[in-house]
Amino acid sequence: MESNSGEKMDYSAWSQENLIQRVTQLEAELKAQNRSLISTPPPVVKKSWKKPRNERVFDPSKYNTRLIALKLAYLGKRYNGFEHHSNQTTPLPTIEEELWKALNKARLIFPQGANPMSPGEVNWEGCEYSKCGRTDRGVSAFGQVIGIRVRSNRPLSKKKKGAVAEGAGEVEKGPAASEFNTLPRENAVEMASPALAPSRAKSEDLPSESLGLDGPDLEETLSFDPVGQEIPYPSLLNRLLPPDIRILAWCPAPPLDFSARFSCRERRYRYFFTQPAFVPTPNHLEHSSSSSPKVKDGWLDIAAMREAAKLFEGLHDFRNFCKIDAGKQISNFERRMFFADIEEVEDSTNGLGFVNGTEFVPSGSLEKVYPKIYTFTLHGSAFLWHQVRCMVSILFLVGQGLEKPSIVSELLDVEKNPRRPAYEMASDTPLVLWDCIFPREDDPERKDAMQWLHVGDGPAAGDAKYGTTGLMDDLWKVWRERKIDEMLAASLVDIVSRQGSRVEELEAGNGKKGSKSQKVFDGGNIPRLQGTYIPVMKKPMMDAVDVINEKYAVRKGFESAEDLKLQGFRRLGKSSAGETPLVEDADE
């Protein structure tokens, strides 16, 4: 088929198959020739006038450290709770993860082997870290407290520099392995307040008679201003944290025996809800029956809720108002509630005036200022897992007329009712850890003894609060975004409520499936439909506490719950019952 180069090809005798092959060959040769003629220009490299950044070797041993307390606030809707759990992947970040990244990036802590720009897994070892409350997913806090040892501007004592121990060789250059932590430095000086509980304080927590602060070597470190010359911790961290997590204050001198967890003697919660709780149905469109509650659909009986809330006050066993955490093997569920009430909160704008119409308000109501905002306000010594949300859930049932206030007393009577009924707990988002109180042990009024220095306090520090990029500026941005969303949603609801026929002209239909079901409010945006309501004490009962603990212990390979308490906690990598008081914790 092929002929010599330069000769004219005669295709007359070629078969169709050979002709197709020849055309395909010529097309491939032409494409290859075209590619060789097109030269690809070299990429243009932009000349940078910036000097390359050389990362300095950070030597933690050159810096002093100090123990401080931080008071922080966060909106919990975007987070998977406060506490980070090792080796557990969560769909949302935790508050602790964000704190960990910010503290490392600011180089306020020096965990061994961690890169400040990418610190990796949360590990508070060597930081003297403690936390007050462990809020669940979606729960917010406006007064959370942590204790942590951080880098300080206070100069190290000159005795430290160049000191060589007897029999030792040369001083090692760079950070020694033992110094790669945030622990107290040798011969260091730092502030502390008197112990909150001297009767329970360990001997090492109390000051010695001779402090040994004489000599010129300590002159520079003793003349240091522990506030004015110190790192502005809140402002620094607020620049690195997400906008919905803010440091509000810091305590330069925590008590000698301070622990954010065990020194806290009062935790305060607020659970927000609206009145009406959900959209009321016009009177002539309601599906009523003999079993319907006396309270109008959508509204709550605030007086009955107050009566029930007051029953929580005092020392009670709350095993029927919590979720049992078998991993802790808790057997003591007694907690003291100092205060419990339903309080009205002033709300300046709402835009939902239609609920004040005669067709929507309960009969006999004279007020025209709905919707209102209320909170269930609760102060207690400590709380069990999901305790507040279980308490609120029962109060909402009372408010809807589905249960009597006496249901609280029935559930608190654990001798008569040792097993918790399987009722649903309230929604998470409206709950806020409002404040954490650290009183002295001899103070009957439980006043906070922590010396908080809030953002903006101190000489020439006002810009940190009200200046550009200050704390209030940051919070305003967060508030305004949500406020605009609220105003737009309220305006839309108001417009739709006034469109079309008047309310009294609307006709009820046959009703879809579920329209006659009981609506049960749980704190969420819409009520749950439950068909025929089953009273709490007639619901299925969960296992008793000792049964739950026993099943957990056997599942973990122990003979019994008692065997787990005796030797199992060490085997599971937890504290033994004798080392850590497992019941004194805020697990809400």
pLDDT tens-digit readout, 5-53: 455 677 777 888 888 888 888 888 888 877 766 656 666 666 666 666 6
Q: Which two tokens stand for residue 282?
A: 């016009």
Helix (H) or strand (E) holding 247: strand 245-251
Summarize the confidence of residues 157-165 as an average pLDDT.
Answer: 50
Summarize the confidence of residues 446-472 as an average pLDDT.
Answer: 91
Q: What is the pLDDT of residues 336-363, one digit of tens each?
A: 999 999 999 986 556 666 667 777 777 7
Task: Give pLDDT, residue 189.
Answer: 75
How far apart are alpha carbons 160 and 514 in whole angstroms?
A: 76
Q: Which of 435, 448, 391, 425 is nearest to 520 (CA)?
A: 425
Q: What is the pLDDT of residues 87-122, one digit of tens each?
A: 777 889 999 999 999 999 999 998 876 666 677 788
Residue 406: φ, ψ to 5°: -65, -10
Q: ∠366-488-496 over CA atoms, to 5°?
A: 60
How far apart are alpha carbons 392 and 122 in whole angstroms?
A: 33
Phi-psi region of 308 (alpha: psi -120 to 50; beta: other; left: phi over 0): alpha
pTM (whole model) above 0.85: no
Q: Which two tokens stand for residue 1?
A: 């088929």
Q: What is the DSSP letter of 446?
A: -
Q: Are 131 and 261 in contact (CB under 8 A)?
A: yes
136 is known as an active-site residue: yes
Task: Give pLDDT, residue 55.
Answer: 62
| Tokens 């409520």 found at | 497
Per annotation, catalytic residue among 10, 59, 136, 325: 136
Q: What is the pLDDT of residues 66-88, one digit of tens each?
A: 999 999 999 999 999 999 988 77
Q: Which two tokens stand for residue 350?
A: 């709402």
Residue 251: φ, ψ to 5°: -110, 110
Q: Which of 271, 270, 278 is nearest to 297 (CA)?
A: 278
Q: What is the pLDDT of residues 224-241, one digit of tens each?
A: 888 999 999 999 999 999
| Tokens 């009294």 found at | 504
Q: Are 221 and 142 in contact (CB under 8 A)?
A: no
pLDDT for residue 205 is more than 90: no
How far apart are alpha carbons 467 and 473 in whole angstroms?
A: 7
Phi-psi region of 580 (alpha: psi -120 to 50; beta: other; left: phi over 0): beta
Task: Give pLDDT, residue 175.
Answer: 42
Q: Which of 548, 516, 555 is nearest to 533 (CA)?
A: 516
Does residue 46 sit in helix, strand or coil?
coil
Q: Which two tokens stand for residue 476?
A: 């305003």
Residue 305: φ, ψ to 5°: -65, -40
Half-sphere exposure of 9 (CA within 13 A, CB side): 9
Does residue 268 sit in helix, strand or coil?
strand
Residue 145: φ, ψ to 5°: -130, 135
- 224 burial (CB, 10 Å; 0-12 / 13-18 / 19+) is middle
Strand 519-520 to 130-131 pairing:
unpaired
Per-residue pLDDT band for 172 (boundaries 50, 70, 90) equals very low
